[in-house]
Amino acid sequence: MRSRITVTRKKINSLAVPAIIAGIAEPVLSITDTAVVGNIPVNGLESLAAVGIVGSFLSMLIWILGQTRSAISALISQYLGAEKLDEIKTLPAQAIFFNILLSVLVLLSTIFIIEEIFLLLNASGTILEYCISYYSIRVWGFPLTLFVFAVMGIFRGLQNTFYPMMIAIVGASLNILLDFILVYGIEGVIAPMYLEGAAWASLIAQAVMAVIALLLLVRKTDIRLVPRFPVHPELKNLVFMSLNLFVRAIALNAALILAVREATDLGDRYIGAHTIAINLWLFAAFFIDGYAAAGNIMGGRLLGARDYNGLWRLAKKVTKYGAYVCSLLMVLAFLFYDEVGTIFSNDRSVLTTFNAIFFLVILGLPVNMVAFVLDGIFKGLGEMKFLRNVLLAATFLGFVPVLFFTKFMGWGISGIWIAFLVWMAIRGGALVWKFRVKFRPLLQKV
């Protein structure tokens, strides 16, 4: 007889709050780079544009190959709910090895064609030079980030979001400190490194996070990092789940990269404004995603225990709490509407362009909340194939047509953000429909 899993506000928040703090670490790193680099006294606008372009490309790589985190978390939480955790102990090491191997292959395949990559993203002149310089340093943190993601997935599957939070806090704090030291320098001690300083700050922070993750995994769990044979039977399932998420992440990042490409094509002030907007969008997304993480973690365990009533209550509660967070973010954004952009840039043309579209970012938050929360629950349930299909439809039947229609109509950067609104509305609507259709009937069988 499996023990009953309680779905209470206290339990949800005990997982969600640390997950929120851990989840915003990556956007905080990007936002810090954006804010510090955007205020560089020499070529600040070009540096800001380069950070935006490179950041979007690196985010694409990380989120395409970092999907094993969700797959590992889903499988471990389901086995935990079924009280069969001992049967899956050898899987994490094999999954981590798989993750790192992929990251090294991608790193080696991009490092020799850096210029061609950023030319495809419409970078040119000084911006292209800065993109190459910034990427050549930051890319070496790529395998480290994927290792940290995998370890965080293991802890999440074990219903532990505290250790990922601690890893994230140390990494984000160190990155912020090093940004100011290395970008601007310390008079008489360290010469200003400007854009390259921001890249080194991120790389060092990623290395420290990887070391902490390794130590916590070794000392706080029974999981061993040396892969053992035979191959675990669930590795095939994990690979297929990850492949579905890879395809999904490619579709997701196709939208992000297309948006960057179109903004870059409009001109420097537009890519500068878009860089600020997308960083704030991602920050809010990861903030709300804390409740998605709670849904992911608890959802997999409830499914493993076949507690469908608990699963239904979980979906309702995490959506409600996500709505509270979303409302708070919207109020703060409107209260400080004119001040937010000045954190990232002192260029008047960039700020004017950003302020003209910021309201679209804010109005999209409720739609984003529904999509992100249910997305997290579906990952915990292992519904990767459906998530893949939803993203493909939202991107290629929603985002892309709207993006090019608004471009044809001459709506400029506003058109890009209208396309984002349509994209997220399709994603959220499809997930609400699927959850009700699949799990509501099961309530009568419990």
* Pair 169, 192: CB distance under 8 Å: no
Helix boundaries (H) for 221-305: 233-266, 268-304
Residue among 422, 344, 441 at smallest CA distance from 31? 344
- Sorted by sequence, the CB contacts under 8 Å of residue 246 that are 6+ apart come out as 64, 65, 67
3-state secondary structure 340-394: HHHHCCCCHHHHHHHHHHHHHHHHCHHHHHHHHHHHHHHHHCCCHHHHHHHHHHH
| Nearby residues of 429 by Cβ (< 8 Å), 6 or more positions away | none
What percent of the chain clears pLDDT 90, i.e. is strictly above it? Answer: 26
Question: What is the reported pLDDT for 295?
Answer: 80
Question: Is the pLDDT score of 446 beyond 50?
Answer: no
Calpha distance 257→253 (Å, rounded)? 6
pLDDT value for 1: 40
pTM across the whole model: 0.72
With the CA atoms of 267, 268, 272 and 278 taken in that order, what torsion angle do they form, in degrees rounded to the nearest 10?
Answer: 30
- pLDDT-derived band at 63 (thresholds 50, 70, 90) equals low
Please enumerate in sequence order all residues whose Cβ is within 8 A of that of 328, keeping only pairs 6 or more positions apart, or say none: none
Please tell me the predicted confidence (pLDDT) of residue 3.
47
Side chain identity at 198, as an amino acid letter? A
The pLDDT score that the predictor gives to residue 438 is 86
Secondary structure of residue 211 in the 3-state scheme:
helix
DSSP string, 13-54: HHHHHHHHHHHTHHHHHHHHHHHHHHT-SSSHHHHHHHHHHH
Q: CB neighbours (10 Å) of residue 41? A: 9
Q: Of how many residues is the chain composed?
A: 446
Average the pLDDT over 69-87 and give the result.
Answer: 77
Q: Which residue has the higher pLDDT, 107 or 406?
A: 406
Closest of 258, 259, 270 to residue 356, by C-alpha: 270
* Contact (CB, 8 A) for 374 and 431: yes
Q: Do 262 and 121 contact (CB within 8 A), yes or no?
A: no
Answer yes or no: is pLDDT of 67 > 60.
Answer: yes
pLDDT at 113 over 70: yes
Nearest-angstrom CA–CA distance, 249 and 288: 19
Q: What is the pLDDT of residue 440?
A: 83
Count, in order, helices (H) and strands (E) of the chain.
19, 0
Q: Is the pLDDT of residue 310 over 90?
A: no
The share of the chain scoring above pLDDT 70, in percent, equals: 94
pLDDT of residue 365: 92
Residue 351 confidence (pLDDT) above 80? yes
Q: Report the C-alpha gap between 335 and 314 in whole angstroms.
A: 32
Question: How far apart, in Å, are the Cα atoms of 69 and each of 66, 88, 154, 250?
Answer: 6, 15, 7, 16
Question: Sorting pLDDT into bands at 50, 70 and 90, what band is 410?
Answer: very high
392 pLDDT more than 90? yes
Question: Quick check: 18 pLDDT over 80?
Answer: yes
What pLDDT score does 391 carry? 93
> DSSP readout, 121-135?
TT--HHHHHHHHHHH
Chain-wide mean pLDDT for the chain?
84
Contacts of 24 (CB under 8 A, 6+ apart): 168, 172, 283, 286, 287
The predicted pLDDT at position 43 comes to 73
Side-chain half-sphere CA neighbours of 243 within 13 A: 6
The pLDDT value given to residue 75? 78
Strand partners, 190: 186
- Of the ranges 103-107, 176-180, 323-327, 436-440, which one carries the lowest mean pLDDT score? 103-107
In the structure encoding, which two tokens stand for residue 294, read together? 């709670």
Contact between 12 and 294 under an 8 Å Cβ cutoff? The reply is: yes
End-to-end CA distance of the chain: 14
